[in-house]
Structure 1
Amino acid sequence: MRKGRKQENGRARLIVHDDPKAVGSEAFRTLRTNLQFTSPDQDLKSILLTSAGPGEGKSTVSANLAVAWSQSGAKVVLVGCDLRKPVLHEMFSIRNVPGLSAVLSGAASLKDAIVSSNIPGLDVIPAGPLPPNPAELLQSKAMVSVIEELEKSYDMVILDGTPVIAVTDAAVMANQVDGIVLVIGSNQVPREMALQAKNLLEQAQAKLLGVIMNKVKFKESNMYYYYYNEVDQAQ
């Protein structure tokens, strides 16, 4: 993604949709392919993306990965599981209600919370209104049921979670999904903090599929590039 190019609302744009021939777009397609081959013996149906701390681009990566996956012909749903600071509704210019929080609290049906992104093959479930008990909702039986139902209806379920060190939300969801991807902001997160995030996920018995180094700046082209590393290479 070119430095400084953002949407009017200040959020990073959906580069895979807006500029499919860009270097960053190709990187997301490579990420999609790499993830597809991380579990050759298992049908990968759901992926949770988290980060060590806030501001590392986790939601931008989640959204662009979802677009890239839908471009492969798959039926994809992107779920806003960051119930504390939701941004997906802004990125896709869609309503934030009723949203996931309303579904988990029993105030709305799952069907009513699904919103078309206007991108072929991609639906979005925004986070919804801020609840008083995000962690409790995300580790509830209702959340397990939501993921199970979505896995039946979609080829891929991508969940945009919360930073793993800041709150417990991502860790409590570790066993609800087929795999977790950790997003790390380049030159933003100390190595110790990145390792702490990785250790917290492992303690929660998460299946860590890999680590994404985000916001890597290449001086030659003055572009940001998204690169995927296997977990053992990132240690």
Structure 2
Amino acid sequence: LIDADLRRPAQHRLGARPKSPGLSELLTGAHPLEAVIQPAVTPGLDFIPSGGGANFTLSMIYTNRLRELITTLRGRYDKIIFDSPPIIGVSDASVLAGAMDGVVLLIQHRRNPAAMVLRAQQIVNGLKVPMLGVVLNQVPLRSGEDYGYYTHNYAYYSEGQRPKRRATTPGKDDKSAPPADKLVLGESDDRKS
């Protein structure tokens, strides 16, 4: 797990770990890889914090170093996860996404308007990076009748078929997230799980 949100890092606080040295020092050459890896945050999960560079940005200058880092880490780890800043308004996320094999968008429940979610999707699609999925977080477990377990509405649809009705019907003024049938994820036909 790599905290690549260099302006507002948070991952080091979740594990009560030091923020530095980290990714910013690694990419500038101030510290080697072994000095920034914090082993076993949880079994099987090493961590690289963001680092101390408050004015550091992932500009195009560091794109090659970032790609070299990813190549090195692929030789050591099965999966590499970068926690990035929001993709809208921060160039670091676009630079980072361009070096990734895929992107998962994290959307905060009732905080990210539909237009913002669709704009984020357009940015990812423009970078020609597969969108692997979307995570909706901070959904209250008990916030009314329109939430809950949806196993009774779960169904498969063949290509071209559309569901006759949605599993839930949010209010007409609800702009927090687009309906599932309006959010189109990146094509993944060429990628096998």
Q: How big is each residue's C-alpha offset from its partner over 1:18-64, in whole Å with a ceiling of 9 and x where there is no partner?
A: xxxxxxxxxxxxxxxxxxxxxxxxxxxxxxxxxxxxxxxxxxxxxxx
Identity of aligned residues (%): 34
Q: CA deviation at 1:98?
A: 1.1
Segments ≥4 residues shifted beyond 2 Å: 130-133, 137-140
What are the residue-to-residue correspondences of 1:1-235 with 2, within 5 Å?
Answer: 78-136=1-59, 139-219=62-142, 233=181, 235=183
Instruction: Output the CA distance in 1 between the equivalents of 2:133 and 2:94.
Output: 16
- Partner SS state of residue 116, structure 2: helix
* 8 A Cα contact 2:27 2:62, kept in partner: no
The CA distance in 1 between the partners of 2:61 and 2:13, in whole Å, is 22
Label 1:120 to 1:234 Cα distance change in 2 as closer, same or farther (>3 A): farther
Gaps of 5+ in 1: 1-77
The 8 Å contact of residues 58 and 96 in structure 2, kept in 1 or not, is answered as no
* Greater RCO, 1 or 2 (C-alpha within 8 Å, sep 6+): 1
Instruction: Give the structure 1 partner of residue 169 of structure 2.
Output: none
Give the letter for the 1:93 counterpart: A
Deviation at 1:118, TM superposition (A): 4.2
What is the Cα-based RMSD across aligned positions, in Å?
Answer: 2.4
Q: Which amino acid aligns with 1:132?
A: N
In the alignment, is the contact (CA less than 8 A) between 1:94 and 1:117 conserved in 2?
Answer: no
Deviation digits for residues 151-174 of structure 1 (CA, Å, limit 9, x no counterpart): 110011111011001201111122
Query: Which range is displaced more, 212-221 or 125-134?
Result: 212-221
- Could you tell me how far apart the structure 2 residues matched to 1:139 and 1:207 are? 22
Cα distance in structure 2, aligned partners of 1:152 and 1:105? 21
Deviation of 1:101 (Å): 0.3
Contact 1:80 1:160 in 2 (8 A): yes
| Greater radius of gyration (CA) | 2
| Structure with more helix by fraction | 1
Unaligned runs of 5+ in 2: 151-179, 184-193
TM-score, normalising length from structure 2?
A: 0.71
CA shift, 1:133, in A, is 3.6
* Cα distance in structure 2, aligned partners of 1:174 and 1:148: 15
Counterpart Cα distance in 1 of 2:182 and 2:40: 33
Q: In the TM superposition, what is the alpha-carbon distance from 1:131 to its structure 2 partner?
A: 4.3
Compute the displacement of 1:137 (Å): 6.6
Q: Check whether the contact 1:83–1:101 (CA below 8 A) recurs between aligned residues.
A: yes
SS at match of 1:173: helix
